[in-house]
Amino acid sequence: MKPIQSALKSWMQTNNNFKENYLKIKQEVLNDPEINEFLSLYPQLPQAEINKALMKFYEYKTQSKQCNQCESYPACKNMVPGYSPVLNVENNEISLTYEKCHSRIMHEKDQEKQKLIQSLYMPKEILQASFLELSVETPRLAANNDLMAFVDQAKIELPKKGIYFHGQFGVGKTYLLGALANELKKINISSTLIYMPEFVREIKGSFKDDSFNEKVDFFKKADVLMLDDIGAELQSAWFRDEILGSVLQYRMMEGLPVFFTSNYDLDQLEDQFAVTKNGIEKVKAGRIIERIKQVSKIVKIDGHNRRL
């Protein structure tokens, strides 16, 4: 039985249509400007090696080179998405390899930066918030400036205090946290955004899978912790003292900033924390408020309800 290569060669010689197409493709490939330029760099290459590499040249010719035929990484047309072909010569042998294209490299960098934002139950709109979209209305300018000052200082050293934003429902407090998180990731600082009512349920549920200590430790040590809508959660003395109090105490001692949003000012929040099923506990509620003051600056946000 003849070897398959011998049979294929015999078939190619007797099939005129194939021969014509082969010669046409060969001419197109060798006349390609990029392949011509490549071959001009290696005048010593024997013709036999060039002929042997025709399929590699054809593959190279039909692929996008460094995104020149692709709109984006998800729309990559190449055989291996996100990789660009490269022709090489070693010991007078032509090889075709692939390297990451510009779009894939940028995509991977964006993915890595996105990992710097940890989120528990925050809506997509908030995770896509931007400083460029912040309202320039007068009541919000002071809050915007405080955020920008925090980022500027963080470029040198992470500030020890965050901000406690309070104001009426819908004035854009949560959006500020999302915008800050996205700005911080640009300078490689991670942040953790937590919607407080769901955070309470998450902690209570963690007893079922033995992840309680791990989760609490994670919140304690986050670079920048953001607690959204504090005071809105169903309050218990246990969560107030053992979880929230513990997290804030650790961050106060370690000089780690915390950002808050709330519909309550601190006096109102203290009243919320004081009321438990065991009665009114003003002293314990007052301890939480003092820790909030130690880890954040108090900023009121005025303005109209943006959700109406």
- For 296-305, write each residue's pLDDT tens digit: 999 999 876 6
pTM of this prediction? 0.66
- Range list for CATH 3.40.50.300 in the chain: 115-300
- For 50-106, write each residue's pLDDT tens digit: 888 888 888 888 888 877 777 777 778 888 888 888 999 888 899 988 888 878 877
Q: What is the pLDDT of residue 228?
A: 93
Q: What is the pLDDT of residue 112?
A: 61
- Tell me the H-state helices in 15-137: 16-30, 33-40, 47-52, 54-62, 102-114, 124-127
CB 226 within 8 A of CB 193: yes
Q: How large is the average pLDDT for residues 232-244? A: 83
Q: What is the pLDDT of residue 285?
A: 92
- Per DSSP, the chain holds a count of helices (H) and strands (E) of 15, 10
Cα separation, 190 vs 217, in Å, equals 16
pLDDT score of 2 more than 60: no
Q: What is the pLDDT of residue 235?
A: 67
Q: What is the pLDDT of residue 148?
A: 92
Considering only the top CATH level, what class is 115-300? alpha beta
Q: How large is the average pLDDT for residues 34-52? A: 88
- Residue 32 has phi, psi (to 5 degrees) of -60, 130
Rank 77-86, 109-118, 134-143, 279-288 by mean pLDDT and report only the highest.
Answer: 279-288
Cα separation, 83 vs 105, in Å, equals 10
Cα separation, 130 vs 128, in Å, equals 7
Q: How large is the average pLDDT for residues 283-292? A: 94
